[in-house]
């Protein structure tokens, strides 16, 4: 059994242990693009991607990093008492720019009052030794989380969703970034088209082999204004969605197979209702899904890593 009151290592408890308080992420949009959008590796981006599903209203790319932090902190200060913040470089690929431009933005964020760390979302094929060395130097005095979009450990799936990189490149990116003082994270999407339940559970085993500290899991969501929305309209047989109970059961078993020290940051994602096409889970909230998954783990007498094989 994991330490603490939950049958898995949850992110909020990790943050409170490390910083002795809650830390709020402020999402930023720096106006970057991706190599599978700008033509360097592909066009159209990932088939599921519409950045409007997770870009906040204050995170407009025509605003500077400091302006976005001001807007974000003003927004969250109305919801919570005084606290510290992470600058979350979230939209698109946030290491896909000249290194001096990246460094300038990262340092601008860290110079903002009460910003105590960086969270940087990127692709595994948009990293280099020079970028890792720069981030490692920043991490000597600041918390720096570097999160790679893994999405799937199957190359056929990565090809189908137009990621334009392989799982081997994922492994190489983590090898490059390991042991450099960075908090390494992975993003994974469950229920991508063509993946069996066994293959989805095997993602837990493959992720456990990587030198990651955290994982973000969420269900596939088809949203408007994406290539996947068009695919769903024209070839709906490509997709097979789980209901809530099936997803809860899958995630509970996934957790039981996952390396026990990995911190789980999320189990689901919640796209805006006006953009979401499928699946229709009738407005169930993220906290409700978390509660269902925790209860299922307890009912099964499962916990994170119970069936993990090193």
pLDDT over 60 (residue 284):
yes
Q: Looking at residues 275-282, what average pLDDT do you find?
A: 93
| Torsions phi, psi for 32 (to 5 deg) | -70, 170
Compute CA distances 60 → 31, 123, 132, 173, 273, whole Å.
8, 21, 27, 29, 21
Q: Which helix (H) or strand (E) holds 117?
A: strand 115-122
pLDDT, one tens digit per residue, over 205-225 is 999 999 999 999 999 999 999
Q: What is the pLDDT of residue 80?
A: 84
Distance CA 203, CA 205 (A): 5
Kindly report the pTM of this predicted structure.
0.93
Distance CA 58, CA 221 (A): 23
Task: Report whether 212 contacts 186 (CB < 8 A).
Answer: yes
Q: Which alpha helices (DSSP H) does the chain contain, by range?
A: 11-19, 65-77, 99-110, 129-139, 155-160, 167-177, 197-208, 227-234, 244-257, 286-300
**Domain coordinates in residue numbering, the chain:** 11-219+261-268
pLDDT, one tens digit per residue, over 155-166 is 999 999 999 999
Task: Report whether 36 contacts 287 (CB < 8 A).
Answer: no
Confidence of residue 193 (pLDDT cuts 50, 70, 90): very high
Between 193 and 54, the more confident residue is 193
pLDDT over 70 (residue 134):
yes
- Residue 89's nearest CA partner among 47, 131, 129 is 131
Distance CA 10, CA 7 (A): 9
Other beta carbons within 10 Å of 19: 15
The residue written with tokens 């002795």 in the block is 20
Fold annotation for 11-219+261-268: TIM Barrel (3.20.20)
Q: What is the pLDDT of residue 55?
A: 54
Q: Looking at residues 182-196, what average pLDDT do you find?
A: 98
Q: What is the pLDDT of residue 308?
A: 97
State the chain's mean pLDDT as an integer: 93
pLDDT over 60 (residue 3):
no
Q: Looking at residues 54-74, what average pLDDT do you find?
A: 78
Confidence of residue 83 (pLDDT cuts 50, 70, 90): confident
Q: What is the pLDDT of residue 79?
A: 87
pLDDT over 60 (residue 2):
no
Confidence of residue 177 (pLDDT cuts 50, 70, 90): very high
What is residue 149's three-state secondary structure?
A: strand
């Amino acid at each position: 059994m994991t330490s603490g009151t939950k049958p898995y290592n949850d992110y909020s408890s990790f943050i409170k242990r490390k910083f002795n308080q809650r830390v709020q992420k402020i999402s930023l949009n720096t106006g970057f693009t991706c190599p599978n959008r700008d033509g360097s590796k592909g066009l159209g981006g990932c088939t599921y991607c519409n950045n409007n599903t997770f870009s906040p209203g204050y995170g407009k790319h025509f605003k500077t990093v400091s302006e976005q932090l001001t807007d974000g902190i003003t927004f969250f200060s109305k919801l919570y008492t005084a606290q510290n913040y992470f600058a979350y470089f979230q939209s698109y690929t946030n290491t896909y720019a000249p290194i001096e431009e990246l460094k300038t933005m990262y340092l601008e964020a860290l110079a903002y009052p009460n910003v105590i760390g960086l969270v940087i979302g990127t692709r595994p094929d948009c990293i280099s030794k020079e970028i890792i060395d720069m981030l490692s130097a920043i991490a000597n005095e600041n918390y720096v989380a570097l999160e790679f979009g893994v999405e799937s450990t199957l190359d056929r799936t990565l090809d189908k969703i137009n990621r334009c990189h392989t799982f081997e490149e994922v492994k190489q990116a983590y090898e490059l970034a390991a042991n450099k003082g960075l908090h390494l994270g992975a993003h994974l999407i469950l229920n991508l088209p063509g993946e069996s339940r066994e293959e989805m559970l095997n993602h837990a085993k493959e992720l456990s082999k990587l030198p990651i500290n955290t994982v973000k899991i969420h269900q596939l969501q088809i949203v408007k204004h994406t290539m996947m929305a068009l695919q769903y309209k024209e070839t709906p047989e490509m997709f097979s969605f789980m209901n809530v109970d099936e997803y809860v059961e899958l995630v509970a078993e996934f957790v039981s197979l996952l390396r026990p020290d990995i911190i789980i940051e999320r189990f689901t994602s919640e796209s805006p209702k006006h953009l979401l096409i499928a699946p229709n889970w009738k407005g169930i909230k993220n906290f409700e899904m978390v509660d269902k998954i925790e209860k299922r783990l307890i009912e099964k007498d499962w916990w994170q890593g119970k069936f993990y094989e090193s």
